[in-house]
Amino acid sequence: MLTALLYGLGTVVPLMIGVAVGVRWTLPRAVLASMMAFGAGTMIAAVSEELFAPAFRRDGAVIAGIALFAGAGMYVVADHLIENKLGRAAIGWALLLGTVLDGIPENMALGVSLVGGGGLVLLVAIAVGNVPEAVSAVAFLRDQHGFSPGRTFGLWAVTAAVLVAVTVLGNALAGTISSSAISAVQAFAGGATIAMLADSLVPEAYREGGWWVGMATAAGFFVAFAIG
């Protein structure tokens, strides 16, 4: 349980650091784009290595596939509704939505994976990915919606507390839920992550940084894969 708590904190401390940076400073576009792209690369490695692959091997294509598309579909629909309402200003809310929709099943999967001695790649990917997500989302919420620092910290602190609790809960329930349920959680998290990367994080990184951010994405993937 203590390990799960520490791993949960390991995912949200970088998140809150990103919030603090986003509230206080406006980073150069090139730096923010590099951070986003690097985080996207680590998430790609985590999805393939610690989310979808274990679910696919454990319960096959049907369960893993259905959960994957369910996670992607939930993010895509929610992001589409936000975008229709807010237009270009929706990116901040979209990144926050991505943190919640992929963060909850990701952290649940992280807690579950600790039972088998895994989780390091997923921890690194979540932690690294949370920083640019938070920085960029906070910047957009501040600039496009006029969020005050207090309101911003409150919103993200609640999100962080939920993610830590979900990690501990996933670890506590790991021995009581079926393997199919574990696979569904992992694949759902993978689907939500893939959709968030495709719809929000990667396009925003390219928009802010240009053609060279592909190298930062590759670097993030390599680092996370090598750790695994």
Answer whether residue 222 shows pLDDT above 90: yes
Chain segment 111-123, per-residue pLDDT in tens: 887 876 667 778 8
Answer whether residue 67 shows pLDDT above 80: yes
pLDDT band at 62 (very low <50, low <70, confident <90, very high): very high
Residue type for position 209: G
Ranges 40-54, 76-90, 126-140, most confident: 40-54
DSSP state for residue 131 in the 8-state scheme? H
Q: Distance between CA atoms of 71 and 192, rounded to whole angstroms?
A: 4
pLDDT band at 93 (very low <50, low <70, confident <90, very high): low
Count Cα atoms within 13 angstroms, Cβ side, for 64: 18
Q: Give residue 61's pLDDT.
A: 94
What's the predicted TM-score (pTM) here?
0.81
Answer whether residue 21 shows pLDDT above 80: yes
* Exposed / middle / buried, residue 53 (Cβ in 10 Å: 0-12, 13-18, 19+): middle
Q: Which of 30-44, 98-112, 174-188 bottoms out in mean pLDDT, i.e. has the lowest?
A: 98-112
Residue type for position 186: Q
Chain segment 24-54, per-residue pLDDT in tens: 888 888 888 898 899 899 889 888 888 899 8
Ranges 15-19, 21-25, 93-97, most confident: 15-19
Residue ranges of alpha helices (H) inside the chain are 2-24, 29-46, 53-86, 90-113, 120-145, 149-173, 179-196, 202-209, 213-227
Round the average pLDDT of the chain to a whole number and report it: 84
* Exposed / middle / buried, residue 162 (Cβ in 10 Å: 0-12, 13-18, 19+): middle
